[in-house]
């Protein structure tokens, strides 16, 4: 399942990526026609709060999920009602650019991360597109905790 989030849903797009969903986030000022073309070409489900965009997408018979809350947890739960979570894909994408992360050898990140992290962690992942390194630290633990809470309906 592939998604396209409009500009109003940046936090939601990041969290969908944490869940492992292929999520295109519209960050620039592209017009609705271009957004609709991208969704159609890539067979993406449009996620939006924009009423006019919903009308235009419906006319083109594109798949849409209407988000009517500003609460992030409510937004995530709305998406998860229609999407199956693949446990193996959780935290497999870069939260910034959506690229699939690659496991990287510890010695290859030595000069890219703080020494304390390098000395205390052994597993690292890397985004080849935005040159970001990830590891399973406290931020990882908080994300996993929130994912579990959301999955369990809390």
Per the structure block, which two tokens stand in for 28? 């620039």
Residue showing tokens 């292929």: 22
Confidence band of 141 (pLDDT split at 50, 70, 90): confident
Among candidates 65, 127, 137, 55, which has minimal Cα distance to 97?
127
- Cα distances from 4 to residues 12, 22, 82, in angstroms, run 11, 9, 15
How large is the average pLDDT for residues 102-119? 93
Q: What share of the chain has pLDDT > 90, as a percent?
A: 72
- Cα distances from 114 to residues 56, 135, 148, in angstroms, run 48, 12, 29
pLDDT value at 34 more than 70: yes
- CA dist 70 and 66 (Å) reads 12
Among 14-23, 112-121, 144-153, the minimum mean pLDDT is found in 144-153
- Map residue 110 onto helix, strand or coil: coil
For domain 2-89, give the fold.
Answer: Rossmann fold (3.40.50)
**pTM tops 0.95, yes or no:** no
Where along the chain do the CATH 3.40.50.2300 domains lie?
2-89
How large is the average pLDDT for residues 68-73? 93
Among candidates 25, 21, 23, which has minimal Cα distance to 9?
25
């Amino acid at each position: 399942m592939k998604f396209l989030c409009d500009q109003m849903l940046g936090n939601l797009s990041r969290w969908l990526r944490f869940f492992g969903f292929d999520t295109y986030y519209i960050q620039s000022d592209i017009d609705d026609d271009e957004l609709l073309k991208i969704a159609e070409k890539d067979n993406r489900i449009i996620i939006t709060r924009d009423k006019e965009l919903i009308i235009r997408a419906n006319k083109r018979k594109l798949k849409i999920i209407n988000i009517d809350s500003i609460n992030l947890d409510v937004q995530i739960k709305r998406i998860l009602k229609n999407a199956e979570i693949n446990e193996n894909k959780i935290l497999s994408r870069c939260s910034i650019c959506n690229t699939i992360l690659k496991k990287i050898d510890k010695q290859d990140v030595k000069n890219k991360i703080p020494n304390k992290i390098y000395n205390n962690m052994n597993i690292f992942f890397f985004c080849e597109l935005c040159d970001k390194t990830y590891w399973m630290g406290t931020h990882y633990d908080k994300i996993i905790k929130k994912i579990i809470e959301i999955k369990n309906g809390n």
